[in-house]
Amino acid sequence: MTTAKSAVAKYSLAVRVFHWVGALLILWAVVLINMGDDYIGLHKAVGASFLIWTLLRIITRFITKAPAPVPMPAWQTAVSHLTHLGLYVLMLAQPVSGLLMSMYGGRATSVFGLFEIPAMVSPDRDMARLFNEWHTGLIWTTLLVLIAAHVGAALYHQFVVKDNLISRMR
Ligand code: HEM
Ligand code: HEM
């Protein structure tokens, strides 16, 4: 068992830290938005931080080497790569749509009072409404579906295939 465990190649430490802190940030953003109107400002600050975090994460992913995929049917490797790609796209689209909603609403976004992301567009109610719909509807729902598939796949590997895939990210 110990030999099998140590045989699993890992992502770089930086990629692993980006992964788990990113998951916590997204969870925190969702908790805050469900705590009511007093917490919208914090939701925006955490969401904007998540965007910056994700940008740094993607750069790190490009400059570090990923471990070779674990052996599994080719279609599963393909689906996992597509899911990961989709997750990255939506992890950008979710906070960007939130920012655009605020910007078209004519509001700058304060990031914990440390700095502001200015409203870089002229106010436009229709555009604000459109990004609101995407942020709370289409993009968010798709992101949730992919996260559910992702966590479901991790559980499947852990408890059904038992190939210790989780160690790559731990
Ligand atoms: C990790 C990134 C983010 C996630 C996961 C996220 C998630 C969500 C979700 C799920 C809702 C809908 C809650 C509900 O339907 O009750 C929401 C609402 C909202 N989000 Fe975000 N968000 C993120 C980033 C941002 C950013 C960066 C901004 C703006 C700068 C923002 C602004 C808002 C606003 C204003 C609402 C309320 C919309 C309304 O009630 O009509 N979000 N967010
Ligand atoms: C309990 C929750 C989670 C578990 C157990 C988990 C587990 C894992 C594991 C084991 C991998 C490596 C997969 C492989 O080597 O093929 C991975 C990769 C990844 N995870 Fe998660 N994850 C979780 C939550 C999340 C969340 C919430 C997100 C995004 C919103 C996310 C985004 C990603 C991405 C984008 C990758 C691909 C990494 C890369 O190759 O660049 N994960 N995750």
Average pLDDT of the segment spanning 134-162: 98
> Hey, CA dihedral for 153, 19, 134, 77, is it positive or negative?
negative
Q: Which of the two residues, 81 and 1, has the higher pLDDT score?
A: 81
pLDDT at 69: 87
Mean model confidence pLDDT for the chain: 95
Q: What is the pLDDT of residues 115-142, one digit of tens each?
A: 999 999 999 999 999 999 999 999 999 9
What 3-state class would DSSP assign to 125?
A: helix
Q: How far is the CA of 135 from the centre of ligand 1 (A)?
A: 6
pLDDT band at 7 (very low <50, low <70, confident <90, very high): low
Mean pLDDT, residues 11-18 taken together? 98
In three-state secondary structure terms, 167 is helix
Nearest to 95, CA basis, from 139, 52, 51: 51
Q: What are the structure tokens assigned to 67, written together?
A: 């471990």
64 pLDDT above the threshold of 80: yes
Reported residue count of the chain is 170
Task: Report yes or no: 134 and 90 within 8 Å, Cβ to Cβ.
Answer: no
Residue 35, phi then psi, degrees to nearest 5: -90, 0
Give the residue, by CA position, lying nearest to ligand 1 atom 33: 98
139, 146, 164, 169: residue to mutate for ligand 2 pocket, most atoms within 8 A of CB: 169
pLDDT of residue 163: 94
> Could you tell me the distance, in angstroms and rounded to a whole number, from the CA of residue 139 to the centre of ligand 1?
11
Cβ atoms 64, 15 nearer than 8 A = yes
Q: Is the pLDDT of residue 2 over 50?
A: no
Is residue 81's pLDDT more than 50? yes
Nearest to 33 by CA among 104, 131, 117, 136: 136
More confident residue, 5 or 151: 151
Nearest-Å Rg of the Cα atoms of the chain is: 18
